[in-house]
Homo-oligomer: A and B are copies of this chain.
Amino acid sequence: MTPLQPGSTIGILGGGQLGRMLALAAARLGFDVAILTPEEDSPAGRVAARTLVADYTDEAALAELAKICGVVTYEFENVPAAAVRKLTALGCPVAPGERALAVAQDRVQEKSFLNSVGVPTVAFASAEDPEGVRAAAAKVGAPALMKTRREGYDGKGQRWVEHVADAPRIFEELGGRPVILEAPAAFVRELSVIAARGRNGETAVYPLAENHHESGILRRSLAPARAPAAVGAQAERIAVQILTKLDYVGVVGVELFELEDGRLLVNEIAPRVHNTGHWTQDGCEVDQFEQHIRAVAGWPLGPTHPIAEVDMLNLLGPEAHGWARLAAEPETRIHLYGKREAKPGRKMGHVNRVRPLPGRR
Contact = CB atoms under 8 A, between A and B. Distances in A.
A7 interface: yes
A32 interface: yes
A20 to B, nearest CB: 7
B303 A330 contact: yes
Contact of A6 (B47, B320, B354): B320
A354 B286 CA distance: 11
Interface string A37-72: 000000000111100000000000000000000000
A324 B302 CA distance: 13
A31 interface: yes
Interface string A281-293: 0100110000000
Given A337-B30, A360-B360, A285 B6 contact: no
Contacts of A47: 23-24, 27, 47-49
A192 B308 CA distance: 27
B302 A330 contact: yes
Given A3-B324, A28-B335, A29-B335, 16 more contacts: A3-B327, A5-B323, A6-B323, A6-B338, A7-B338, A24-B47, A27-B46, A29-B336, A30-B323, A30-B338, A47-B47, A282-B285, A299-B324, A300-B328, A302-B330, A303-B330
